[in-house]
Amino acid sequence: MARLELIAATAFGMEALAARELRKIGYEDLEVQNGRIIFRAGEEGICRSNLWLRCADRIGVKMGEFTAYSFEELFQQTKALPWEEWLPPDARFPVTGKSVKSKLYSVPDCQAIVKKAVVERLKESYGISWFEETGPLYAIQVALLKDVVTITIDTTGPGLNKRGYRALAGEAPLKETLAAAMVYLSSWKPEQALIDPFCGTGTIPIEAAFIGQNRAPGLSRRFSAEEWPSIPARLWKQARAEAEDLWQRDLLLKVYGSDIDSKALRLARIHTKEAGLEGKIFFQRLPVKEVSSRFHYGHLITNPPYGLRLGNLEDIENVYRELGLVWQKLGDWSLHLLTTLPHPERLINRRWDKSRKLYNGRIECHFYQFFGPKPPRLER
């Protein structure tokens, strides 16, 4: 198992960002596809990708990919895969699945057949007829797309958006993976100021601070594959030690969050402390129209409230008008906002420079970017 084929699953629109992250940590042998990146790595790649990827949802070991038009083909080709190389006799191996535009459209039947095929293979390998399933978790996923079957074992457990610091959650929190993508797409640099004027429970400021300090987002949590005997514990230890060494804890940041919801701000401060960032991010109870800064060439990065969270359309539009006025008052800042509101440029009073479709869970959003002037040193 020196060279593995791994899959980093992503939300649509996030593939290029996750691929860039993989290249940054040294994995150049990769292929970008819709909703996933296939990359090749050694066993340490499981550890490092889980610890470092900010924009991916989870990491899976690709067990096999084949075409199947019948349940018998699905059974036989699944059974032919080397399950004993990964699953010990006491493994827990639930099977989940999905099927899109395939002849084998019954997902429950596909799951049952894959489960049976794995059991039959393990019976032959271990010479036993019953599996207690009391050991480490090996969640098997079977995905059918146009009759092509891809079978993976999930190495992550709870999704990678679960950073390990958020014991408490506020109303409708922004996914951490999406918040990190927003910061990446803004081209914000750690020496620049950043303000989220609708920070809620602090997701965007915390993700920005993680990026600014080069802090691996998975350092405060554990992953399913950490319990697997097939992956030496020393690889996890080495990957975590590397991440600790690269974390620039003492780097000063100009990251700020404000909101009018005092309960959300209390949670933001708790999350910041639990994330190891106390004293690095500053929060203030403030209506958006009062937001200001002494810094130049900063970034407003935010997910303004919308829909039922605010009430009627007039209230929603007034919030965006106030945000636009704040941005104009700041003069040389850039504005980056994620919203479901169509055509926010009519309220911001300027045409957006870039627009990109992103998904917050299953909610389709657009990320609008209004660029300010480049700092003088960048112009030079």
Is 85 found in the same domain as 13? yes
Is 277 found in the same domain as 205? yes
pLDDT tens per residue, range 77-90: 999 999 999 999 99
Residue 165 within a domain: no
Write out the residue range of the structural domain in which residue 199 sits: 176-213+249-379
Give the CATH number for residue 43.
Answer: 3.30.2130.30
Q: How many domains does the chain have?
A: 2
Residue 236 within a domain: no
The pLDDT assigned to 380 comes to 42
Is 180 found in the same domain as 146? no
The pLDDT assigned to 11 comes to 95
3-state secondary structure the chain: CCCEEEEEECCCCCHHHHHHHHHHCCCCCEEEECCEEEEEECCHHHHHHHHHCCCCCEEEEEEEEEECCCHHHHHHHHHCCCHHHCCCCCCECCEEEEEECCCCCCHHHHHHHHHHHHHHHHHHHHCCCCCCCCCCECEEEEEEECCEEEEEEECCCCCCCCCCCCCCCCCCCCCHHHHHHHHHHHCCCCCCEEEECCCCCCHHHHHHHHHHCCCCCCCCCCCHHHHCCCCCHHHHHHHHHHHHHHCCCCCCCEEEEEECCHHHHHHHHHHHHHCCCCCCEEEEECCHHHCCCCCCCCEEEECCCCHHHCCCHHHHHHHHHHHHHHHHHHCCCEEEEEECCCCCHHHHCCCCCEEEEEEECCEEEEEEEECCCCCHHHHC
Residue 241 within a domain: no
CA distance 265 to 225: 35
Is 101 found in the same domain as 202? no
Residue 166 within a domain: no
Is 180 found in the same domain as 149? no
Is 13 found in the same domain as 133? yes
Is 366 found in the same domain as 280? yes
Residue 40 within a domain: yes
Is 327 found in the same domain as 193? yes
Is 371 found in the same domain as 305? yes
Low-confidence ranges of the chain (pLDDT < 70): 1-2, 168-172, 306-311, 378-380
Is 83 found in the same domain as 185? no
Residue 56 within a domain: yes
- Tell whether pTM > 0.85: yes
Task: Give 279's contacts (C-beta < 8 A, 6+ positions apart).
Answer: none
Residue 167 within a domain: no
| CB contact at 8 A, 177 and 54 | yes
CA distance 135 to 88: 8
Is 57 found in the same domain as 144? yes
Q: Which long-range contacts (CB under 8 A, 24 or more apart) does 351-359 make?
A: 356/13, 356/185, 357/12, 357/13, 358/11, 358/13, 358/14, 358/178, 358/181, 359/11, 359/12, 359/13, 359/178
Is 317 found in the same domain as 202? yes
Give the CATH number for residue 289.
Answer: 3.40.50.150
Residue 169 within a domain: no
